[in-house]
Chains A and B, each alone.
Chain A
Amino acid sequence: MPTELQHGPQSGAAIAVRDLHVAYGGTRVLHGVSLDFTPGSFTALLGSSGCGKTTLLRSLSGFVPVESGSIIVGGKDVASLPPEKRGMAMVFQSYALWPHMTVLQNIGYGLKLRGATKAEIAAKVAAMLEFLGLAGYENRKVTALSGGQRQRVALGRALAIDPGILLLDEPLSNLDAKIRMTMRHEIRAIQQRLGLTAVHVTHDREEAMTMADRLVIMQAGRIAQVGTPEEVYDRPATAFVANFMGAENVLPLRVERSEQGARLSAGEATASLANGVSSALPSGEAVAYFRDDVARLDASDATSTGDLIVPGLIAARAYPGGVYRYRVEAAGRQITVDDANRHELGTKIGLRIPLQRLHIFPASEAGTIAA
């Protein structure tokens, strides 16, 4: 593991983004984004491609001009400043290492700009390489390095200038799966040790959840939800977030509220919820989202005991390991369910769905999900 850097820990800077509008050649990409980044926090911007997460990062770094709104760093609005005056260091998806320079020249570039002497640069780069587990690589050509090594050099180049803010633009997406796992932990550990404010763009849900203390889910140029990984995963604010966080099964429901609580029905299947739990539920036509591991396969005539039992037919079966994964046709929908037991195709079953684990939204909202 990396050793301690000589200059020791430093503190990250706070960023406050206010009502940010960004357009690319006439197309509005960000529609008024407001977001706060506390010093030393690790925030992941998560969303499907085209949601504006990369644009948000690039407008923070100054690569994309801002239409209106402000980006406040250290009490100063930097939205109109050029990239070199913002004090943020970025790690690029493509690494963007300069192929005509050695590792030493790449990492030392920012130090040279700041007027460091040759000896100072050599010492600091050596310490940085030691820190990154690449000791003695100074005179290698960056083109001769492996993907993981290039990633570390790119990280070293960004860290060498002691930035208060570290921007990560899908830095792990070009690495193979095994190195990606290691780099997740390394980047997180470095960020914690140096106390940097990190903003990480990714479309990989697991990567965002394992690295960040806070997720920002973006949808079509707006923020859909901000919260800790647990909050976003367990209590999605919108149908889009629920779907994006992996609750991909969709079940249309009807909710009827009464004095005692609420009655949920999907086709002929019905179940009731007590008043306390049901108060947050919408009334009328609704859509429930749930993950593959929520429902169970049961007998088609099983008793409800508070769960929703939806009759269905097994259409397909796969074995990804550990459990069987079934595709079940129920309530006119294709639903994916994990179950430990093996069932034959074509079997009539009852889909047992615990009500507490459903994410229920009004049917009107469900239409906003991009396919």
Chain B
Amino acid sequence: MIRLASTARATLAAALLAAFAFVLIGPLANLALWSVAERWYTPFKLPVTYGTRYWEQVFRPTGDAMASLGTSVWIAVLTVVVALALSIPAGYALARLKLPMRALFMVMFLLPQAFPSVAIYINVARVFYQIGINGTVFAVVLVHAAHGLVYSVWIAAAAFAAVDKDLELAARNIGASPLRAFFTVTLPLAAPGIIASGIFVFLESLDEFTGTFFVGVPQVTTLPLLLYNAAMGGNYQVASITALILLVPSVLFMLFIERFLRADVLAKVGA
């Protein structure tokens, strides 16, 4: 009886695991298959000819893909710089200072997420047209940073809140100015969380589509826009390869989170 129950449990677990693996790996396997399919059309369940022609096309130094990868990374780096420059002081203030309207501040950073993004970006694009910055990298960075701040401020606030205030006071106590204490004690201790928030903003920027579409097209072509164009043009191979490239940083980030970020920082996100 007990053996029967345990067999049933093991079978159920295996079935659930298989289903989970299918949901997770299925789409990825499809992407991988498409990226090496040189010819694949309907009645066939699998590609007719395999080859790396499209990979070569994408990674050709003069190709569109490499250029837009460059644009994407450049925009993402600038977005991280802008977002951290704002979220480090803002996160510290939210974590440490007794701001009377702390909750209001938190909600303010969340607000852009509460409305349909298309509606917001259409208005942003209109304003950017008027001041003549539409279609520039600067405009795209602004849109990405506004989007990334939601996460980076919350994560930074959690990272600062996880640093024991006594550690900072101990530095002040033996002669450090507030700024000195911040840069030698608080910031280094909050660094893993800050770095994580930076990576998060980087990733968000890397695969942001809607905002880039409204304020960047046609002058600025990022990787997701290239993917969109390729997919719309029926070039599933290039679209799949682009998608796989976009996947790499996300996986690296997850590994970083798992390795470096302490549970007590994660627990304070949004608190």
- Over the window 226-247 of chain B, the binary record of Cβ atoms lying under 8 Å from chain A Cβ atoms (1 yes, 0 no) is 0000000000000000000000
Contacts of B173 in A (CB 8 A): 61-63, 83-84, 88-90
Contact check, B174 vs A96: say whether CB atoms are below 8 A apart.
Answer: no
Residue A119 at the chain B interface, CB threshold 8 Å:
no
Chain B stretch 139-181: residues in CB contact (< 8 A) with chain A: 164, 166-167, 169-178, 180
Contact check, B185 vs A114: say whether CB atoms are below 8 A apart.
Answer: no
Given known pairs A100-B188, A100-B189, the reply for A113 and B170 (CB within 8 Å) is no
Contact check, B166 vs A157: say whether CB atoms are below 8 A apart.
Answer: no
Contact check, B174 vs A110: say whether CB atoms are below 8 A apart.
Answer: yes
- The total number of A-B Cβ pairs within 8 Å is 61
Contacts of A94 in B (CB 8 A): 164, 166
Contact of A113 among B98, B167, B169, B176 (CB under 8 A): B176
The residue on A at minimum CB distance from B188 is A100
Contact check, A161 vs B188: say whether CB atoms are below 8 A apart.
Answer: no
Contact check, A113 vs B164: say whether CB atoms are below 8 A apart.
Answer: no
- What is the interface size of chain B, counting residues whose CB is below 8 A from a CB of the partner? 19
Could you tell me the distance in whole angstroms from the C-beta of B52 to the nearest C-beta in chain A? Answer: 46
Contact check, B172 vs A109: say whether CB atoms are below 8 A apart.
Answer: no
Contacts of A84 in B (CB 8 A): 172-177
Given known pairs A100-B188, A100-B189, the reply for A109 and B166 (CB within 8 Å) is no
- What is the interface size of chain A, counting residues whose CB is below 8 A from a CB of the partner? 25
Residue A82 at the chain B interface, CB threshold 8 Å:
yes
- Over the window 87-130 of chain A, the binary record of Cβ atoms lying under 8 Å from chain B Cβ atoms (1 yes, 0 no) is 01110101011111000000001100110000000000000000
Chain A stretch 21-41: residues in CB contact (< 8 A) with chain B: 25
Contacts of B169 in A (CB 8 A): 61, 63, 83, 90, 92, 96
Contact of A161 among B98, B167, B172, B175 (CB under 8 A): B175
Contact check, A98 vs B185: say whether CB atoms are below 8 A apart.
Answer: yes
Residue A158 at the chain B interface, CB threshold 8 Å:
yes
Docked Cα-Cα span, A82 to B176, in Å, equals 10
Contacts of A61 in B (CB 8 A): 169, 173
Could you tell me the distance in whole angstroms from the C-beta of B7 to the nearest C-beta in chain A? Answer: 46
Could you tell me the distance in whole angstroms from the C-beta of A359 to the nearest C-beta in chain B? Answer: 38
Give me the 3 closest cross-chain CB pairs, A-B, nearest first: A110-B174, A96-B170, A96-B166
Beyond the given pairs A83-B169, A92-B170, A94-B164, 5 more chain A to chain B contacts, judged by CB atoms under 8 angstroms and listed by A's residue number, are: A61-B173, A62-B172, A92-B166, A97-B170, A113-B175
> Would you give 24 A-B contacts (Cβ < 8 Å), ordered by A?
A25-B98, A62-B172, A82-B172, A82-B178, A83-B173, A84-B174, A84-B175, A84-B176, A89-B173, A90-B169, A90-B170, A92-B170, A96-B164, A96-B167, A98-B170, A98-B185, A98-B189, A99-B189, A109-B176, A109-B184, A110-B175, A113-B174, A161-B174, A161-B175
